[in-house]
Amino acid sequence: MKICIVVTHLLGTGHLARALTLARAYRDAGHETIVISGGMGAPQLSNDGVEMVQLPPLRSDGVNFARLLDGDGNEADTALLNARIEMLIDTVQSQQPDVLITELFPFGRRILRAEFTALLHAAQDLPRRPLICASVRDILAPPSKPAKVTLADDLVAQFYDAVLVHSDSEVAPLSLSWPVSDALAGKLRYTGYVAPPAAAPHTDGLGTDEIIVSAGGGDVGQHVFDTALAAAKQDPEKRQWRLLLGGQDAAKRSGDLMCDAPANVIIEPARPEFRQMLYHAAASVSLCGYNTALDILQSGARAVFIPFDAGSEVEQGLRADALAQLEGITVLRNANLDAATLLNAVTAVLNAPKRAPRDHGFDGAAQTVQITQEMHEDQRCE
């Protein structure tokens, strides 16, 4: 099959990371795969030979998803938005995919509705209509207005053959965060969690006995890094802390913070070896995005989750609370975050029993390939 996955990450890089994991699974199964990315570049993520098309990039203005900025930080204008639409249509017309997957839309990215609907219309008008699927994580941002639910239901009914939910229906059904109508329920396909194969421990033991602080690959989480730096200065055990900063200006911010860092702190841009380092870490301090949560489960690392909650976001809080039922994982809310509470949380997880790495339930990418293969075959036979 020819697969086309369309994704635009506006704040962090988790959406792109998950799309690339799916693309690699399709590639490994022998399918021709292309990822169309509309977000900012993410050099810490490897596409591992997956073909990518980069649209003129966009990002949100912080947590204000109603204001889009271009690659230079200026407000996106009509010319840029139209150029994106033209590239999307040209790509799908030239590729003529057998399967088209839109990541998150129509359950999010409503500000990009014009380009997604133009893409969907173009796909429907191809000589051979592709199988069209939406791809969503375990927990969505709950809709703030009934109109958002109606819009998603209408678009799914008009364009989509399936909604691929990258979760375990017994652990986190979509209904936990989104109102699921009877019509929508009939199109849900649970794949299990989408994660790359478990990383092997780092060959050089990088990260051994360190408190590794991260906030994904985006520009969020500065308050976590500031608090971690303050905590490291007050740490009576003088444990080694390593802060891994994401975002476009991570190198500059790392250098600025290092000017005030004590000897027990390393501050640097996010590293591609992050998943390998978790096996050796004393503990992880992080947000609780989808990919980070799976990294913690796969590595067995002790973890303090500080779920992202700016702009009334609740997704990460729901996920963190569910994971905190496991040994060696605790949740610290931003409202209670300071150097003392972070030190207490780190001490608590370090004193908790060691949790074994989890080695099952992460084959959602392979299951996605199988589900869409079967649906495509059924479609061809109709």
Candidates 259, 295, 300, 5; CA nearest to 123 is: 5
Q: What is the pTM of this model?
A: 0.82
Beta-bridge partners for 36 = 6, 53
More confident residue, 150 or 144: 150
- Kind of pairing, strands 64-69 and 59-61? antiparallel
Task: Please classify residue 32 by burial: count the beta carbons closer than 10 Å to its beta carbon, then call 0-12 exposed, 13-18 middle and 19+ buried.
Answer: middle
Residue 217 has pLDDT above 80, yes or no: no
3-class state of residue 233 by DSSP: helix
Predicted pLDDT at 138:
92
pLDDT tops 90 at residue 88: yes
Q: What is the pLDDT of residue 132?
A: 98
| d(C-alpha 76, C-alpha 322), whole Å | 38
The residue assigned the tokens 């003129």 is 56
Mean pLDDT score, 200-220: 88
User: In the structure, what pLDDT confidence band is assigned to residue 2 with cuts at 50, 70 and 90?
Assistant: very high
pLDDT > 70: what percent of the chain? Answer: 100
The pLDDT of residue 45: 81
CA 327 from centre of chain: 24
Find out whether 350 and 9 touch, Cβ atoms under 8 Å: no
Specify the range with the lowest mean pLDDT, choosing from 12-21, 85-94, 212-221, 370-379: 212-221
The pLDDT score that the predictor gives to residue 311 is: 74
- Cα–Cα distance for residue pair 266/269, rounded to 1 Å: 10
| pLDDT of res. 200 | 86
Over residues 138-159, mean pLDDT? 94
More confident residue, 369 or 41: 369
Q: Which of 59-63, 80-84, 108-112 has the lowest mean pLDDT?
A: 59-63
Residues written for the chain: 382
Q: Which pLDDT does position 220 carry in this prediction?
A: 81
Q: How confident is the model at residue 92 (pLDDT cuts 50, 70, 90)?
A: very high
CA 244 distance to own-chain centroid: 17
Instruction: Specify the pLDDT at position 201.
Output: 86
Answer whether residue 278 shows pLDDT above 90: yes
pLDDT at 118 over 80: yes
Question: In the predicted model, what is the mean pLDDT of residues 365-381?
Answer: 93
Q: Is the pLDDT of residue 67 over 90?
A: yes
Conformational region of residue 73, where left means phi above 0, alpha means psi within -120 to 50, and beta covers everything else: left
Handedness of CA 362, 364, 366, 367 (dihedral sign): positive
**For 127, which DSSP code?**
S
DSSP alpha helix (H) spans, 130-178: 146-159
CA atoms of 322 and 14, how far apart (whole Å): 19
| pLDDT score recorded for residue 188 | 98
Does residue 163 have a pLDDT over 90?
Answer: yes
Q: Report the C-alpha gap between 379 and 2 in whole angstroms.
A: 15
Q: Which residue has the higher pLDDT, 199 or 352?
A: 352
Checking if the pLDDT of 248 tops 80, the result is no
Cα atoms in the Cβ-side hemisphere of radius 13 Å centred on 187: 22
Does residue 322 carry a pLDDT above 80?
yes
Q: Residue 359 pLDDT > 90, yes or no?
A: no
To the nearest 10°, the Cα dihedral for 20, 26, 28, 34?
Answer: -60
Domains of the chain, with CATH numbers? Answer: 2-196+362-381 (3.40.50.2000), 211-350 (3.40.50.2000)
HSE value, Cβ hemisphere, 13 Å, CA-based, for 303: 33
What is the structure's pLDDT at 202? Answer: 86
- State the chain's mean pLDDT as an integer: 93
pLDDT number for residue 203: 85
Asked whether residue 249 carries a pLDDT value surpassing 90, the answer given is no
Q: Tell me what the mean pLDDT of segment 246-272 comes to.
A: 91
**What pLDDT, on a 0 to 100 scale, did the predictor assign at position 340?**
98
What's the one-letter identity of residue 101?
Answer: I
Q: Give the number of other Cβ atoms within 10 Å of residue 245's Cβ.
A: 24
Q: How confident is the model at residue 162 (pLDDT cuts 50, 70, 90)?
A: very high
Q: What are phi and psi of 111, to 5 degrees?
A: -65, -20
